Amino acid sequence: MTFSLSKRHSSLEEYLNARVPNEPEFHQAVTEVIEDIKPIIDQHADYKAANMFERLVEPEQVITFRVEWQNDANEIEVNRGYRVQFNGAIGPFKGGLRFHPTVNQSVLKFLGFEQTFKNALTGLPMGGGKGGSDFDPSGRSDAEIMRFCNAFMQQLHRYIGPDIDIPAGDINVGAREIGFLFGAHRRITNQFQGILTGKSPSFGGSQMRTEATGYGVMYFLQEMLRKNSADVDGKSVIISGAGNVATYAAERAITMGGKVISLSDSTGFIHDPDGLTQDKIDWVRDHKSKAGESLAAYVKEFGGEWTEGGVPWGLQADIAAPCATQNELDEKSAKALIGNGVQAVIEGANMPSTAAAKSVFRAADILYAPGKAANAGGVAVSGLEISQDRMRRPSSAEDVDKSLQNIMSDIHDACIEDGTRAGNVDYVKGANIAGFRKVADAMLSQGVG
């Protein structure tokens, strides 16, 4: 028997094992999406005739390159750089750069695949891509970070451009790294071009890009709650991570009246039963910006409890927002959250829930928003930054924030439209189907060859 989506394989698992062996994160992301869109492809003769499944799961280009650079001890170090240009059917490739020792082809392909659907959901003309390096920035000096960024761009500049591919930040790539990368590109090409987003507003960046992902997560949550006649106000919130997405999600949750009781990093988590405040968040940002600092120092400063090596999912709260990294929330944690009466789980990170955890959430009577919908606010404001770059005309923070709220509300509506069955909303299904339709229809219109 053949798998109905591919003539040569009998199941999705067999297809993935044969075509892309040893890429577990990519298999996980593809399996989740394909389970939801298979019935749509099966029912749609045009999609089947166009072999949409095989074309969708094959990236257009996977580029790898050597990054050689000199550390402070004058030693030459070598890292591997990547850019996965996954799908450019609806616009130039767009997606972040991640610098982390766990970066490999599987991780970047899963991220580029997810990004393709996420970008489609924003309603802006952006294809999906992702890139980065296995470079570990922890403990490195500013000068080393700058030399690494220069060396990385020395290779990457061949593959990007305002009409080709426009990267941005992701884990360990923030304003400092984007500045170094942009400067390197300008010196190499002698052109001032909008080839990166997340730039400082002093040289073409958009207001609110820094805040956009975390704020967008909370705007999406507010939409979900409102549809159920509820509100963030008065709710307790568990957040994981202590970086860009986590701290801005916490900031917005607090201004909406929520009580944020945790943050975490790869060394453990804090439980602050009094709740975070803006001062505490500012301290976390400052502390975590210093190379290699653990969040453990929080409790000496503000009290609460530190759990070394733990995850915050055993705490009791109304809302959980995983905002750190992929597969940080497993089946046991998902069951603990449900057992403790969580009402909504909203993913700020990309694929933070394992496949088993996802099944627990989808089967439970809770609101569950997948990352590709809930964290799309960051790339949406990147899309607005591209427009500002083109026009050389900046927008105010108020205007960008208003656009962000509208885009998150539209994504919420799209999820409702494609994810409602018998009165129940499956946000995962809704996001997968709505994103798929847009990309697949563009691919159909453009033919093959």
Ligand X SMILES: NC(=O)C1=CN([C@@H]2O[C@H](COP(=O)(O)OP(=O)(O)OC[C@H]3O[C@@H](n4cnc5c(N)ncnc54)[C@H](O)[C@@H]3O)[C@@H](O)[C@H]2O)C=CC1
Binding-site ranges for ligand X (CB under 6 A): 169-172, 213, 240-246, 264-266, 288, 323-325, 328, 348-350, 375, 378
Output 213 or 262, the one with its CB closest to ligand X. Answer: 213
CA neighbor of 86 nearest in space, from 55, 121, 65, 47: 55
C-alpha–C-alpha distance, residues 96 and 108, integer Å: 10
Residue 133 binding result from ligand AKG, ligand X, none, given CB thresholds of 5 to 8 Å by partner type: none
The residues that bridge with 64 in the sheet, in sequence order, are 82
Output 41 or 312, the one with its CB closest to ligand X. Answer: 312
CB proximity list for 171: less than 8 A, separation 6 or greater? 98, 99, 100, 243, 325
Which stretch in 135-143, 359-367, 372-380, 427-435 sits in contact with ligand AKG by CB under 6 A?
Answer: 372-380
Of the candidate residues 244, 382, 403, 432, the single one contacting ligand AKG (CB under 6 A): 382
Total residues found in the chain within this entry: 449
> Catalytic residue numbers?
130
Residue 325 binding result from ligand AKG, ligand X, none, given CB thresholds of 5 to 8 Å by partner type: ligand X
378 makes contact with ligand AKG (CB under 6 A): yes
- Closest CB 423 distance from ligand X, rounded Å: 31
Output 252 or 271, the one with its CB closest to ligand AKG. Answer: 252
Reported as type and span, the H/E element at residue 147 is: helix 142-156
State the number of CA atoms in the 13 A half-sphere of 270 facing the CB: 26
Residue 244 binding result from ligand AKG, ligand X, none, given CB thresholds of 5 to 8 Å by partner type: ligand X
Most distant CA pair in the chain, distance = 65
Residue 395 is encoded by which pair of tokens?
């927008």
Residue 197 binding result from ligand X, ligand AKG, none, given CB thresholds of 5 to 8 Å by partner type: ligand AKG
The amino acid at 371: G
C-alpha–C-alpha distance, residues 327 and 319, integer Å: 18
- Closest CB 323 distance from ligand X, rounded Å: 6
Residue 137 binding result from ligand X, ligand AKG, none, given CB thresholds of 5 to 8 Å by partner type: none
As a whole number of Å, the CA-based R_g of the chain is: 21
- Closest CB 212 distance from ligand X, rounded Å: 7
In the region spanning residues 88 to 107, those forming contacts with ligand AKG, defined by CB under 6 A, are 94-96
Output 242 or 351, the one with its CB closest to ligand AKG. Answer: 351
Specify the DSSP class assigned to residue 124.
S
- Closest CB 381 distance from ligand X, rounded Å: 9
Output 90 or 317, the one with its CB closest to ligand AKG. Answer: 90
Ranges assigned E (strand) in 110-235: 127-133, 165-169
Residue 259 binding result from ligand X, ligand AKG, none, given CB thresholds of 5 to 8 Å by partner type: none
H-type alpha helices, 203-352: 209-227, 244-255, 278-288, 298-302, 331-339
Residue 353 binding result from ligand AKG, ligand X, none, given CB thresholds of 5 to 8 Å by partner type: none
C-alpha–C-alpha distance, residues 189 and 207, integer Å: 26
Which stretch in 11-19, 200-208, 278-286, 373-381 sits in contact with ligand AKG by CB under 6 A?
Answer: 373-381
Output 16 or 349, the one with its CB closest to ligand AKG. Answer: 349
- Closest CB 208 distance from ligand X, rounded Å: 11
CA neighbor of 377 nearest in space, from 217, 221, 224: 217
- Closest CB 243 distance from ligand X, rounded Å: 2
C-alpha–C-alpha distance, residues 45 and 3, integer Å: 16
Of the candidate residues 350, 353, 403, 432, the single one contacting ligand AKG (CB under 6 A): 350
Residue 12 is encoded by which pair of tokens?
């999705």
Contact criterion met (CB below 8 Å) for 367 and 228: yes
Residue nearest to ligand X (CB): 243
State the number of CA atoms in the 13 A half-sphere of 273 facing the CB: 4
Q: Where on the chain is the footprint of ligand AKG (CB under 6 A)?
A: 94-96, 115, 118, 168, 170, 197, 350, 375, 378-379, 382
